[in-house]
Every structure is written in structure tokens, then in C-alpha cells.
Chain A
């Protein structure tokens, strides 16, 4: 057992004890010793397992066994990697498509929420992951989408499908509005300005009574409808089928999510994507290489906003209701958490994180408020133990483990 690991084990245990005991010890007025120490004991147990795992991995016997098994492991891995990725994707698609057939309404609803947040995460990923611009007010564009559809539908009777492109354009314009004044900003300043922008949008929606009905929200938007030809008594006619059932809405959201994944992937691999990476790496150097940084940064904001406003419109249509309190700052944080937890710039990572952050808290609903505590702890632990995210993007992994790549050879002939 390495001394440093044991020291870490003691420190972490005490630290978490100090953090947790007062919180879980007082469900009511008096301190419940047994309850508090059971929970703490569980956590210490997990830490002990971690210590054990580390110790075993260091031992000679483990190393020798691992070396023995390495060829076998490699063949298995090779066998698996022989399947083209598309089979995995196909399997995943089938699983997602089959999900509503097996789930009850509540679970489908959670599924839709997951898909919504995945699309939001992917949209924010364009801004944060690709172009490297921190945006803490991203949910504002989701609100813009929701209100665009609501107002267009209520006042002009514009259908969901027509409202989508209009909403995307409006979202894009709002993206540019927030993008333009922040073009020269970086880091903390950008974070504060975008956060302020998010709040401005929410407050305007909350207070512009005549247009948005303020905190009461807007009610009665039409659900998306599919028009199809059908034979009726009068002959061939176009019939509108309103997507009212959760199943239909789930599949609609599924299609939106798949299109988003395809769109973001193509952007990532495009010339534009490469230029975004260059801007993130070194803006001046990118400018000197002829990258039109101003345009591309605005484009990142506009595209990110466009994706958010599509799901915003969907969200408003699904509920037939919207109000400003759906778009609080906390929502922006959750979307950002999805991006960071999943792995900035990584599409599969964001999908996984979207499922984990939205669905898992639902599963543990019985634990009541402790799930938020666990959630916070899990986030903090993730950032310490695996800062590159659940499934890191290859480029990002390089960034955080840059030093791993140094070999003595690199340092030998340094100038």
C-alpha cells in the first residue's frame, strides 16, 4: 500500500465527513447520528475500495497476471474494433427507437427531456467546444425559440414546420446580437456578459406583459401536425394528424436529435470546424493564417443559437405552454455541465452526459434532495479525476494530457 495513497484516503474521508455530516445529519431538528454515519460510512467504503484497487494494481502479482492476459485482451479488443462504428450506431439507433415501446408515459417524457438536453448540449458544444467561447446564457436562445414559435403560432397561426426555419433565423440573429459586442472578449469577461444576456432575455419575457403575458406565460399553441394523403368518402384528401401522443413527440424529437448529431458532426469535420479550432488555440495566429475570425465567431454563436431555438420551438409545441421560469440561469448551467461532463467537443460524450444528467436524477428521485448532493459530488469528482470528460474528444484529450506526450527524445535537441 503506497503511503501517498493512504494519506489521500484519510484526507478525502475526513474532508467528505466534514462536508456531509452536518448536511445529512439534520433531516429534522436533531442530529441523527446513526443516519449520518451510515451515509458517511458508505462513502468511506467507496474510497476504501478505490484504495484497494490502486494497491492491487500496483502489486507484482497483478502486473504479472495482466502481462499474461495482455495478448488475450488485445485479441478481444481487436475483434471488437473490427466491427465498423456504423453497426454500433445502428444498434444505438434501434435501441433509442424501440425505447417508447417498452416504456411508460413518464419514462417517455423523461426520454424526450433527455433528447432535448442532448440537442442543447450539442448546440452549446459548437460555441464552447469548437470555437472555445464560454457561454453562460445559452438557455436564452432556447427561450427565443420557444417564444418565437408561441407568438408566431398564436398571432399568425403559423404552423410548427414553418415556424422552425423562422425560429432558427430569429435565434441566429439573437446569437449575433450577443456575439457581436463580445467579439473581443475572452474568458471571465465573456462568461459574465453572456450570463447577463441570458438574464436580460428572461427578464424581458417576464416583464413585457403585453406581448408575452409575463410570468403567466403563453398558452394554447398548436402541436406539430403531419399532413398525409388519405382516401376518404370524398376521394383523395390531405388529412392533418396532430402529434399529440407522447410517442409521436418522442419520435419527432428523436429525428431532430439525429439531424443535429449529423449537422454538428459535419461542422466538426469541415473547414469551418478546423478554423474554429484554430481560433480556440490561438486567435492571433488564426488571424495571421487568413481565418476570418470575426465572421466565424459570429457564425458559431448563430449556429449554436439556431439549434437551441429549434428545440425551444419543439418544447413550446410539446407543452402548448411556455413561461419565463423555464429559462432560468440554472438551465444554462445544466447544459454547460452536460458539455463539460461529457467531454468538450465530443459528440458521444455529450449524448452520454445528457442521459446521465437528466435521466439518472429521475431514477433516484426517491432519494429526494440527496440526489442533488450526489450530483454535485459526482461533478466535482469528475472534474478532479477525469477533467477531459466521460468520452473525451481526441483533440481535447491531447490538450489536457499534453505533458504525457513528451519523451526524452523531444527534450534532447531543444533549441
Chain B
């Protein structure tokens, strides 16, 4: 297998919330076209990592590079313009906007109308339920539909790199499976995916690379398949 060019690189990234040292030197490299996942317990700093990549939280030290260019000094809207997009944790959709308006917000930075319409069709293809609910308010959708909407909205900016924060959170097992299948489908379209998950088993099954995070640091990096067999990981995160 040829070595793929990295799309995202984190080098020794530190982030603070006030005095709390949330990320204590996170480094990782995500190859272009892959699915990578970051697993870890609650409060390990997984969500903070994603928010730091996006510039919502500022990296106090360290470097973040997207396609070789540093992005850690950029504001969120500038990061979004680079071709990164994120479906935030806990389905932070716009509850009082309709499904359609939510998706349109995802394409906020784009001005190519016909292409946006095509992408909307693509999203409706991935999540047919959303098409039936275009005029319904985001807040009145079911949990699964809201998650689909959050991912769909993130796709509307036509990203090269998609950051997903706990897409399985609070969903029924059957729906989780559906979501993960769709993630694979999105990846096949050439979108690199960086997945943050507590559902370690599912996440590692579909990923190429896996990172294990503990208290603000990445403690283990390996092929996802090897992590699935790793005794420590099995014990701590897979419940076996």
C-alpha cells in the first residue's frame, strides 16, 4: 500500500479552558481518503480536539496543518472555507429552522447554486427520511433524524475532511448501524473522515486508523484492526 499524503496533521497541540489544561500535547496524522477514529472515555478531550481543529477553541501551543498548510491561527469560518466541516456532538442542529433551512445553513459559504442543489440531492439520497421532512422544524425531528440532519448539514459545504463528533450518541443500535453504513458510503465518495466515538467497537470496525485518548493525550495509535485485538483496548473500551 502506497503511503497516502496526510490531509490533517496535529503536532503537540495544547488547549486550555481557563486554567484547565484540556489537551496536553496531541499529535496525530490522518491520511487523505481514510477513516480515522479517536476513541476514549468521557472527558478525555475528544470533543476538545475536534473543536481545536476547527478553531472554535484556540490551540495555545502546537501546530495543526490541513493539506500541509497551517490552520491553527484561523478563525472557524476560515477553517470551514478550507474544506473542513464538522457535525457537532449532541446533534447541535438549529432547532427552530426547518430541515431545509438547516441544510442551507451548511452551504452558507458557498455561492455555486446548482452545485449546492446537487449536493442537497446527494444528502437526500444518503438520508431519504430527511426528504420527507424538509419543512419540519429541526427540533421536532427524532433523535436519529437530527443526527442525520447534522451530518447532512456538514456535508452541504462539500468538505474534503469531515469531522464527526459522537454520531452514535443516544441512538438505538439499529440506527447506529445505519449511520455507520452511511459514513462508509460518504467515505467512498472521497471524503476523509475523522470520527470521535465512545462506541469504540463500531468506530474501530469501519476505520483504517485508530487513536486512543486518555486525559488530554493520545496514548495509543495503531491500525484499527490491531486495536480491536489489543488487550488493553479490549479491556478498557470494548468491555470484553
Q: Are A275 and B108 in contact (CB under 8 A)?
A: yes
The 8 A CB mask of B81-119 against A (1 = contact, 0 = none) is 100011010001111110001001110110000000000
Question: Is A42 close to B, CB under 8 A?
Answer: no
Most buried by B among A277, A290, A405: A290
B residues with a Cβ closer than 8 A to A are 51, 54, 56, 75-77, 80-81, 85-86, 88, 92-97, 101, 104-106, 108-109, 136-137, 139-145, 147, 153-154, 157, 170-172, 175
How many angstroms between the C-alpha atoms of A413 and B142 in the bound complex?
Answer: 7
Which residues in window 260-316 of A have CB below 8 A to B? 271, 274-275, 277-278, 281-282, 284-294
Q: Are A284 and B92 in contact (CB under 8 A)?
A: yes
When distances are taken between beta carbons in the complex, the residues of chain A under 8 Å from B137 are 398, 402, 405
Q: Which of A286, A410, A413 contacts B140 (CB 8 A)?
A: A410
Nearest B residue (CB) for A405: B140
How many angstroms between the C-alpha atoms of A108 and B56 in the bound complex?
Answer: 52
Known: A290-B109, A405-B136. 15 other contacts (CB 8 A): A278-B94, A281-B95, A281-B96, A282-B92, A284-B88, A287-B76, A288-B56, A288-B154, A289-B80, A289-B157, A290-B81, A291-B105, A402-B95, A410-B136, A415-B147
Which residues in window 360-413 of A have CB below 8 A to B? 395, 398-399, 402, 405-406, 410-411, 413
When distances are taken between beta carbons in the complex, the residues of chain A under 8 Å from B108 are 271, 274-275, 278, 289-291
Question: Is A235 close to B, CB under 8 A?
Answer: no
Q: Are B93 and A285 in contact (CB under 8 A)?
A: yes
Q: Are B76 and A415 in contact (CB under 8 A)?
A: no
Tell me, rounded to whole Å, the shortest Cβ–Cβ distance linking B199 to chain A.
14
Q: Are B94 and A285 in contact (CB under 8 A)?
A: yes
When distances are taken between beta carbons in the complex, the residues of chain B under 8 Å from A274 are 101, 104-105, 108
When distances are taken between beta carbons in the complex, the residues of chain B under 8 Å from A411 are 142
How many angstroms between the C-alpha atoms of A406 and B80 in the bound complex?
Answer: 34
When distances are taken between beta carbons in the complex, the residues of chain B under 8 Å from A413 are 142, 144
Question: Is A414 close to B, CB under 8 A?
Answer: yes
Q: Are B97 and A294 in contact (CB under 8 A)?
A: no
Number of interface residues of A (CB under 8 A): 29
Q: Which of B51, B140, B143, B153 contacts A289 (CB 8 A)?
A: B153
When distances are taken between beta carbons in the complex, the residues of chain B under 8 Å from A285 are 88, 92-94
Q: Are B139 and A290 in contact (CB under 8 A)?
A: no
When distances are taken between beta carbons in the complex, the residues of chain B under 8 Å from A398 are 96, 137
Q: Are A406 and B86 in contact (CB under 8 A)?
A: no
- The contact sample of 16 A-B pairs, CB cut-off 8 A, is A275-B108, A284-B92, A285-B92, A286-B105, A288-B86, A289-B108, A290-B80, A290-B108, A290-B157, A293-B76, A402-B96, A402-B140, A406-B140, A413-B142, A415-B142, A415-B144
A residues with a Cβ closer than 8 A to B are 271, 274-275, 277-278, 281-282, 284-294, 395, 398-399, 402, 405-406, 410-411, 413-415
When distances are taken between beta carbons in the complex, the residues of chain A under 8 Å from B85 are 288
Known: A282-B94, A287-B76. A414 touches B142 (CB 8 A): yes
When distances are taken between beta carbons in the complex, the residues of chain A under 8 Å from B101 are 274
How many angstroms between the C-alpha atoms of A405 and B75 in the bound complex?
Answer: 37
Nearest B residue (CB) for A412: B142
When distances are taken between beta carbons in the complex, the residues of chain B under 8 Å from A399 are 96
Nearest A residue (CB) for B148: A415
How many angstroms between the C-alpha atoms of A413 and B101 in the bound complex?
Answer: 23
Tell me, rounded to whole Å, the shortest Cβ–Cβ distance linking B96 to chain A.
5
Tell me, rounded to whole Å, the shortest Cβ–Cβ distance linking A393 to chain B.
11
Nearest B residue (CB) for A294: B75
Q: Are A287 and B56 in contact (CB under 8 A)?
A: yes
How many angstroms between the C-alpha atoms of A162 and B81 in the bound complex?
Answer: 40
When distances are taken between beta carbons in the complex, the residues of chain B under 8 Å from A410 are 136, 140-142
Nearest A residue (CB) for B143: A415
Tell me, rounded to whole Å, the shortest Cβ–Cβ distance linking A212 to chain B.
39
Q: Which of A288, A292, A395, A402 contacts B88 (CB 8 A)?
A: A288
Q: Are B97 and A291 in contact (CB under 8 A)?
A: no
When distances are taken between beta carbons in the complex, the residues of chain A under 8 Å from B75 are 292, 294
Q: Are A289 and B139 in contact (CB under 8 A)?
A: no
Tell me, rounded to whole Å, the shortest Cβ–Cβ distance linking B79 to chain A.
8
When distances are taken between beta carbons in the complex, the residues of chain B under 8 Å from A286 are 94, 105
When distances are taken between beta carbons in the complex, the residues of chain B under 8 Å from A277 are 94, 97
How many angstroms between the C-alpha atoms of A205 and B163 in the bound complex?
Answer: 51
Tell me, rounded to whole Å, the shortest Cβ–Cβ distance linking A407 to chain B.
9
How many angstroms between the C-alpha atoms of A292 and B77 in the bound complex?
Answer: 5
How many angstroms between the C-alpha atoms of A282 and B105 in the bound complex?
Answer: 12
How many angstroms between the C-alpha atoms of A130 and B172 in the bound complex?
Answer: 36
Q: Are A288 and B76 in contact (CB under 8 A)?
A: yes
Most buried by B among A292, A395, A411: A292
